[in-house]
Chain A
């Protein structure tokens, strides 16, 4: 019988994460090289936008990850509240900075793209605005998690906040449909795409790479969080001597 809760203990997960993380980083690096090669060397020049469009190979995967990570963070938050587990809350905390980073990257690369294309670095259109709101939701999560003396209380409060904020995700996702805006409508959906195959592959490879990176980064970060929280326990002290 598999004990599914074996790895729910911070002590055992610490070792598992330490073992897994380098593999994810390696996968991320390989996929990134492949994706960038496809994106910059293989994919053709765009008919309308020239070379500058190539920023989508960073921008689009980053914005996908920003929303996906928030969703996963909210799920971990829900698990930690329902089952009162420590590790789920620590994973949520570990994901937040990576999610915030991708949101920032999405916004920043978006403005690089915006300048030559629309003539402006920033425009208050629906998707950009709601992505900015997402960035602040991440900041709010991190701030709330660290605002209490008792870290367990910070865990629970921020988990609840993440759940409340998850309503923002559909708003971001559907914002390009709901508002007639400058931002390009979605060309990639589950039904198919009108995009050139090489461009699509470039984006997918980069998205996978970012995903692997996120897993690796949050596993590494959660190890640090585990150590900090469990620093007074027997197994953590033993680590000094191994």
Chain B
């Protein structure tokens, strides 16, 4: 994949989120430029998921702002949404569609027009080529996770926001993910990854919530 032409930058300034009367996290700031990735660590319940959702724009942060390329994302989020890929706890996969259809649909939703060869090649990469026509309900949890990996391989978004991407992946899958992440960051991409486990590819920076 060609390198990302423009050097992007994401910044979070003084983000805070309340759940009910108690704050989930406060005064969280971070910044990452092209070619960097941040790993978000913290015990369960410290707000890693909520932080990622705030950065993605799904949840409104109670305080603070997210700045993408110098523009606050709250103002006009369309260019931001076009360049970001969010993978949360829920897989976003329809059971009645096949792996191939799921990926094609996901990419078209993101405004990309993938060629059939590219999709097939990506599925082959994650080991789902033979099962690409089966409805997703017939795949195992690990195989469904691999559909998400194929999507990561094909999407050309600059910013990745990933919440526990190693869940349900076996060793092969984890190695594959690490490779994909490394390639993405080397190309000039940015990633914020919430994870319990350490990856073979070390983070540029580590952020700890709830400390």
Contacts and interface: CB of A to CB of B under 8 A. Distances in A.
Contacts of A233: 21
Interface residues of B, number: 3
Contacts, number: 5
Interface in A191-229: none
A238 interface: no
Contacts of B22: 232
B20 A150 contact: yes
Contacts of A231: 21
Nearest to A232: B21
Contacts of A150: 20
B185 to A, nearest CB: 36
Interface residues of A, number: 4
Nearest to A151: B20
Nearest to B20: A150
Interface string B28-49: 0000000000000000000000
A94 B21 CA distance: 21
A231 B22 CA distance: 12
Contacts of B21: 231-233
B57 to A, nearest CB: 15
Interface string A116-150: 00000000000000000000000000000000001
Contacts of A232: 21-22
A233 B20 CA distance: 12
A233 B18 CA distance: 13
Nearest to B22: A232
A227 to B, nearest CB: 13
Nearest to A229: B21
A67 B31 CA distance: 52
A231 B20 CA distance: 11
A233 B21 CA distance: 8
Interface string B10-36: 000000000011100000000000000
Contacts of B20: 150
Interface in A138-188: 150
A75 to B, nearest CB: 23
Interface string A70-81: 000000000000
A17 B203 CA distance: 54
Nearest to A150: B20
Nearest to B18: A152
A100 to B, nearest CB: 28
Nearest to B21: A232
B59 to A, nearest CB: 11
Interface in A75-129: none
B26 to A, nearest CB: 16
A193 B153 CA distance: 74
Nearest to B19: A150
A191 to B, nearest CB: 47
A150 B19 CA distance: 8
Nearest to A231: B21
A64 to B, nearest CB: 38
A229 to B, nearest CB: 9
A231 B21 CA distance: 9
A10 to B, nearest CB: 13
Across chains A and B, which 5 residue pairs bring their CB atoms closest together, nearest first? A232-B21, A150-B20, A233-B21, A232-B22, A231-B21
5 contacts: A150-B20, A231-B21, A232-B21, A232-B22, A233-B21
